[in-house]
Amino acid sequence: MDIKLINGGVCAAKGFKAAGVHCGIRKNKTKKDLALIVSDTICNAAAVYTTNLVKGAPLTVTKNHISDGKARAVICNSGNANTCNANGIEIAEQMSDLVAKELNINANDVVVASTGVIGQPLDIAPIAEGIPTLAKTLRANGSQDAAEAIMTTDTVDKQIAVEFTIGDKVCHMGGIAKGSGMIHPNMATMLVFITTDVAISSDMLQKALSGDITNTFNMLSIDGDTSTNDMVTVLANGMADNKEITDDGEEFNTFMKALNTVTVNLCRVIAGDGEGATKLLECKVSGADTPDTAKTVAKSVVCSSLLKAAMFGADANWGRVLCAIGYSGAQVDTTKIDVSFVSDKGKILVCQNGAGVDFSEEKAKEILLEREIVIDIKLNDGEFSSTAWGCDLTYDYVKINGDYRT
């Protein structure tokens, strides 16, 4: 079950093209603001959506469009989230219609997404003017352009692709994502578009995605805010010509491993690019009595503002880890907990059996000054484990969000 990292992003799978242009939604003409992903053939489709009760119009439209488990294209704009607008549904449907007309496909086979400021009116005019150019620039190596076009406060584009084998067929899967702020566990937490040439039924595709997110995107937090417009979609066009996956088994397990490789990679990149972040935090919990205990503890620690601030300052304040475990709601024996901080500079034990131990503050600071930090928590009470991702809390997070709209 070898999963190999390759280039190509959302275009790595056979039959997918992508493009990204600046159409005029964003004032900065150097920033792309409209992305398109298209398959040569109809795809089986699956999606998961934000749990926020306030949802952007594109989510409502997309959910309706892929209710038959089918899609062929994704259109996404950045700079305006198309949320809380009286004519939001109309605008989202118009985006679908414009893409459908340009590509000569069914409008109900178009996934629609938006990201950006909430509550600002969205003018269809620049989108209508940009879609013909967008369609004309579709190409098999267009993932980079599409990835840039969905960015908001992101500082880096987010792409991943893998190659693997199902049966005797070489298969591919790739994805692009945006996400930097307003990210908190509760699916979904950002925009993620995943494509694959694997032949898999819509039902099994949905099962794979819904199962995967509980251990990936639902374990990701930047700032504790659950967004209104975010979703994850997967399109599978079957062009790898493997025997269609319609049930559980070895081939489905291989597909799940490939999907998990893609989603974990994107989780890490999103967490590391949190608004104002200087560090990627990975909280690894082991020795839990149940899977839920492990997840609850990991999420509580990675979401702690005090712990995130301590990591920014490279302060080995392990008491904040214990504090976050204590209020998490998980029933744990606090007298068994061990905590270590880990990075490329080494590993240091700072708490054992729920109490402090002597350690070198100088060594701890050296470890915590690195770009990627692991908070290693051993509950020593069972066999279950979980991982959550986040970032440090910096001055720049406040600066970015203090004038985000203006």
Structure-token pair, residue 377: 């928590």
Structure-token pair, residue 348: 């240091």
Residues designated as active site = 189
- Output the pLDDT for position 404: 55
- Output the pLDDT for position 238: 98
Structure-token pair, residue 135: 């369609």
Which of 281, 310, 286 lies closest to 389 in space, CA to CA?
Answer: 281
CATH classification for the domain delimited by 280-402, as one of 1.10.357.10, 3.10.20.340, 3.20.20.150, 3.40.50.920: 3.10.20.340
Which of 186, 175, 189, 178 lies closest to 155 in space, CA to CA?
Answer: 178
- Output the pLDDT for position 56: 78
User: Which SS3 state, helix, strand or coil, does residue 177 take?
Assistant: strand
- Residue whose entry in the numeric block shows the structure tokens 């880990």: 342
Q: What are phi and psi of 130, to 5 degrees?
A: -85, -25
Which of 260, 275, 16 lies closest to 151 in space, CA to CA?
Answer: 275
Task: Going from the first residue of the chain to its last (406 residues), give the mean pLDDT of each consecutive group of 10, the final group possibly shorter.
Answer: 93 98 91 97 93 77 96 95 85 97 97 86 94 97 97 87 97 90 49 97 97 90 60 96 98 98 93 79 97 96 93 96 96 97 98 97 98 97 96 78 61
- Output the pLDDT for position 379: 98
Q: Do domains 4-272 and 280-402 have the same CATH topology?
A: no
Percent of the chain with pLDDT strictly greater than 90: 75
Residue range 198-230, pLDDT digits in tens: 999 999 999 999 999 989 988 887 655 455 567
Tell me the pTM. Answer: 0.88
Domain positions in the chain: 4-272, 280-402
Q: Assign a CATH topology to domain 4-272.
A: L-amino peptidase D-ALA esterase/amidase (3.60.70)
- Output the pLDDT for position 137: 98
